[in-house]
Chains A and B, each alone.
Chain A
Amino acid sequence: MLLEVRLYSGLEKYVENAQYGKPIQVELPEGATVKQLLDKLGIPQEQVFSVLVNGTHYNCSDVMEDGDRVALFPPVGGG
C-alpha cells in the first residue's frame, strides 16, 4: 500500500531530502502499523509524540490503510 507521509518540526531531518510538510510517498505491505512506518523511515520512536492519520490520533500499533495521509510530530504546543 502507498501512504502519503508528512514530517514536521524537525522530524524531517531523519529522512534524506525530506522537507517539513512536503508529502513523501512511502510503500509498505498491506496491514502495516505506524511502528513499521517509523522503522522504514528510520525515525526513532521516542522522537515521535503525535501521529495523525487522516486527522485522527493513532498509536504505534495501529494499522494504516492504502492512501492514508499520515503526519508525524515531535512534542509541540503553544496557544
Chain B
Amino acid sequence: MSKFIRLDMTTQKVKIEEVPEKYRALGGRALTSQFVLDEVPATCHPLGPKNKLIIAPGLLSGTSAPSSGRLSIGGKSPLTGGIKEANAGGITSQKLASLGIKAIVIEGKPEKGTFIARVTADSVEIIPADDLAGKGTYELTAILKERYNEKAGVICIGPAGEMKMLSAGITNNDPEGNSSRYAGRGGLGAVMGSKGLKAIVVECDKTFDAPVKDKERFKTAARKFADILLKHPVCGEGLPKFGTNVLMNIINEAGTLPTRNFRTGRFDAAGEVSGEKLAEVAVARGGKATHACHPGCVMRCSNVYPMPDGKVCAPIEYETAWCFGPNLEISDLDVVAKLNYICNDVGLDTIEAGCTLGVLMEAGVIPFGDGQAAIKALEEVVKGTPLGRIIGAGAAVAGKVYGVTRVPAVKGQSIPAYDPRSCRGNGVTYATTPMGADHTAGYAVTANILKVGGYVDPNKDDGQIELSRNLQVATAAVDATGLCLFVAFAVLDNEEGLPTIVEMLNAQYGTELTVEDVTALGQQILKNEREFNAKAGFTKADDRLPEFFYEEELTPHKTKFALKEELDEVFNF
C-alpha cells in the first residue's frame, strides 16, 4: 500500500497516513506542486514553521522503466519567494518507491537541535543527531551509511542548509555514495535546515520493487521505451559518450555561451573546460567519462572526475562547468572541479554559486579569471563569514549588497548556461517559468541549437513563445513521471515516445490515460504553480528578464532580447 509519511519537526513525531484520495494519481512534480498549493500558505515565511517540504519519487520510479529514478522536492522557495520543485537523480527515489512511499512531508519547526530521520520497511523514526551538526555532505553520508546501512540512500543538507542560506540545496547519493545528486535550485536546503533536519536515511535493498499492476504489459512497454532512447542519436550516442558537458563547444560555437558574467557569447578557452577535455583527463586519471546516477539509466550522462588532491568529483555537469568556467573566465578544469566539490560538500546549488561569483567579480571583489581567488571566496561559505553568507545568499542578494546592476537572475534565481539573447526560446522560459530562471523548465536549446524536435532560429523571436509553452507543459508532465528530462530528446523526435510513456503508466497503475491526459496534467501543474505564485504576490512584472538583456548587445550575433508583453501569452491555455 502506498503511504504518506509526515515528519512533524515541532514535536519530532512521525505520522504515517494512507495517501489522500486527491493525490493517488499524482507523483513527482505533479504531487509536490499540488501539495504545496494545498498545504503551504503562499505568504508564509519560507523558513518559518508554516512552510512544508515534500519529497516525492516520480510515478514510474522504482520500476524497470529506463532512467526513471528521479526525485522531486517541493516547498516554498526562500530564494524566489515562490513555489519550487527541484529535481534530482541519485538512488533514493527508487528506494522510496520500492518501500511504497508516495511522499515524505517535513513540517513544523523544532525549538532547537539537529535531527535525522531513519526510514526502513518497518519503521520511521526521528533521531536527535547534534553530533552531526556542521558536517559536510560527503562525510555525513559516509557516517550514516556506516552507522545504519551501507546500501542506504541518504538525503541530506550541508552546513549551507543548516545556516539557512538562500541557495542551499538538498542532495542525495549516487550508487558509489557520492553525495552529489542535488535537488539544487531555489534554496530548499535552507528549508530543510530551518526544520532542524540534517538527513533522511532511506534503507531498502530493493531498487525495482514498486508495485506494478500488469507486469507483462509493463515490461513490453519499458523495453520499447529503452529502445526508443537508445535509437535516438542524442540519448543513445551523444549523452553516453561525453555527458552533458559535450554542450560546451556547441553552445560556444553557436555564440550563446554566457562569458564574463553574461558580457559576451563566446569564450576562447571553452574547449579547456569542455566534455571532450573532461573525458580525456578523467580517463587518463582512472576516472570515468560515462556513469549512471542511478541503476537503470540507459543514457548514463554522468562522469567521474578524479581531482589532483585525490578526491573525486562525480559528476561535473555542463551547467557547473559553465558557471565556474566561461562565466568567470576560468579555463582550468581542476579549478572547476574543486569549486564544484566545495559546493557539493557545503551544500550549495552550483549554478547559483557560479553566478554569484560572477557578480562578485563584476563588483571587483575578486578578479575575473582568478581561480584561486574564487576557491578562497567559496571556502568562506562553510565558515559562515559575512562574505560566505553573501555568496550563499545568491546572485540577486550579492548584486544588491555590492550595487551591481548586471545581475543575471529572474524571480531572484540566477540564469543558467545559455544566453537568452541568442537562445531566445530559453529566454522565454527563464522569464516565465514559475520556478525562477531555470533551463530545465522548458529547454528550448533543443530546437534553438541542437536541432532536436524541429528548428527555431535562436536569434529571432518567431516561434519562441509557442516553443517554450509546449516544452514547459511537456516538462512538467515528464517531471511527474520520474523520468529523467533527457528522455525528452528522444520523445520530441519520435512520435511513439509519449504514447509509450502513457502505456507504462497505464500498465503500472491500471489506468486508462491518454496522451491528451498527460498534456492536461502538464498544464494543470503549471496552473497550480502559477496560482501559488500569484497568491504569493507575483505579477506579470516578475515574468521579465533583467534590464541589461534588453539594452546591451551580445556578440557575436549582436542580438538583444526584445520580448516583453508577448511573454504574457505563454500561459494562455
A residues apposed to B, CB below 8 Å: 6, 8-10, 20-21, 49-50, 52, 54-57, 69, 71, 73-79
Q: Distance (Å) between the CB of B552 and the closest chain A CB?
A: 18
**Which residues of chain A are near B550, meaning CB under 8 Å?**
none
Q: Can you name 15 extra interface pairs (CB under 8 A) apart from A8-B249, A55-B556?
A: A9-B246, A9-B275, A52-B250, A52-B253, A55-B422, A57-B455, A74-B233, A76-B242, A77-B234, A77-B489, A78-B244, A78-B301, A78-B318, A79-B439, A79-B486
- Find residues 189-248 in chain B having any chain A CB closer than 8 Å to their own CB: 233-235, 237-239, 241-247
The answer to whether A9 and B242 have CB atoms under 8 Å apart is: yes
B269's nearest neighbour on chain A, judged by CB, is A21
Binary per-residue interface labels of chain B (451-495) against chain A in the complex, 1 for a CB within 8 Å, 0 otherwise: 110010001000000000000000000000000011001000000
CA A9 – CA B451 in complex, angstroms?
16
CA A52 – CA B318 in complex, angstroms?
20
CB-contact partner of A79 in B237, B443, B451, B455, under 8 A: B443
Would you call B274 an interface residue if the criterion is a C-beta within 8 Å of the partner chain's C-beta atoms?
yes
Binary per-residue interface labels of chain B (368-401) against chain A in the complex, 1 for a CB within 8 Å, 0 otherwise: 0000000000000000000000000000000000
**Which residues of chain A are near B243, meaning CB under 8 Å?**
78
CB-contact partner of B249 in A9, A49, A56, A69, under 8 A: A9
The answer to whether B250 and A79 have CB atoms under 8 Å apart is: no
- A interface majority secondary structure: loop
Q: How large is the interface on B (under 10, 10 to 19, 20 to 34, 35 or more residues)?
A: 35 or more
- Find residues 420-449 in chain B having any chain A CB closer than 8 Å to their own CB: 422, 439-440, 443, 445-446
Q: Distance (Å) between the CB of B452 and the closest chain A CB?
A: 7
B451's nearest neighbour on chain A, judged by CB, is A50
B274's nearest neighbour on chain A, judged by CB, is A21
CA A73 – CA B238 in complex, angstroms?
10
CA A55 – CA B442 in complex, angstroms?
22
B residues apposed to A, CB below 8 Å: 233-235, 237-239, 241-247, 249-250, 253-255, 265, 270-271, 274-276, 301, 317-319, 422, 439-440, 443, 445-446, 450-452, 455, 459, 485-486, 489, 556-557
**Which residues of chain B are near A57, meaning CB under 8 Å?**
451, 455
**With A9-B241, A10-B241, A21-B276 as contacts: A78 and B246 at CB distance below 8 Å:** yes
**With A49-B451, A71-B253 as contacts: A79 and B274 at CB distance below 8 Å:** no
**With A49-B233, A55-B557, A78-B244 as contacts: A6 and B253 at CB distance below 8 Å:** yes
The answer to whether B556 and A77 have CB atoms under 8 Å apart is: no
CA A73 – CA B252 in complex, angstroms?
12
CB-contact partner of A8 in B234, B250, B446, under 8 A: B250
Q: Distance (Å) between the CB of B241 and the closest chain A CB?
A: 7
CB-contact partner of B237 in A6, A71, A74, under 8 A: A74
The answer to whether B276 and A77 have CB atoms under 8 Å apart is: no
Q: Which of A21, A49, A54, A56 has the most CB of B within 10 A?
A: A21
**Which residues of chain A are near B450, meaning CB under 8 Å?**
50, 76-77
A77's nearest neighbour on chain B, judged by CB, is B234
